[in-house]
Amino acid sequence: MDDPRLTAIQTLIEPIVAEQEVELVELACRPEGRQLLVRLLVDKAGGITIAQCAQLNQRVSAALETANLIEESYTVEVSSPGLDRPLVTKRDYERTVGEEVWLDVRIGDGRFRETRGMLLAVQPEAVVLKTHAGNVTIPFSEIRIAKKTFKW
């Protein structure tokens, strides 16, 4: 994070997020119309509710107002990453252990293969899936896209 204002905002809100027992997945600030949009994507094991997002929004907004870190007009938006958000960081994978995932995996010569299974473990450089063919270890470097799968 190279933006000093973004770093200051993150430092301010981290204790609030931790107190609510959620994880800050992403923090972004960008102009939107005549205001600055401060967007927080938060999540926790088992997912986060709309009510929890609203409560966190109120707490973060109050803290920002008190700290006076942002001079221009701004809006705070708190939401979950969404059901279809790709797994990107190692922490995303760790949060998904025990759940079904879909991976697009490199198999060589620029080709990819879809793989589905239960995410059993996250290792330093790979993930372990339980598939219909047995357990497989897939290096992060071979994963092009990864997402949770959902049973409706």
Total structural domains within the chain: 2
Kindly state whether residues 37 and 11 are assigned to the same domain. yes
Backbone angles phi, psi at 107, to 5 degrees: -115, 5
Q: Which domain holds residue 56?
A: 4-79
* Dihedral (Cα; 105, 120, 147, 125), 10-degree rounding: -50
Pair (71, 108) in one structural domain = no
Average of per-residue pLDDT across 11-25: 93
Final residue in a domain of this structure, among 54, 79, 104: 79
Which pLDDT score is estimated for 150?
A: 65
Q: 70 and 38 in contact (C-beta within 8 Å)?
A: yes
Residue with tokens 């899936």: 129
In the structure, what pLDDT confidence band is assigned to residue 39 with cuts at 50, 70 and 90? very high
CA distance 114 to 132: 13
* Burial class of residue 63, CB neighbours in 10 A (0-12, 13-18, 19+): middle
If asked whether residues 75 and 26 sit together in one domain, one would say yes
Residue where a domain terminates, one of 36, 54, 79: 79
SS3 content of the chain, % helix, strand, coil (to 5): 30, 40, 30
Helix axes 50-67, 4-19, angle to 10 degrees: 130
What single DSSP character describes residue 96? T
Contact in structure between 14 and 24 (CB atoms under 8 Å): yes
pLDDT band at 4 (very low <50, low <70, confident <90, very high): confident
d(CA 142, CA 53): 34
CA angle 95, 3, 89 (to 5 degrees): 20
Are residues 99 and 119 in contact, defined by beta-carbon separation less than 8 angstroms? yes
98 domain-assigned: yes
Is residue 2 over pLDDT 80? no
Q: Are residues 9 and 62 in the same domain?
A: yes
Q: pLDDT at residue 152 above 50?
A: no
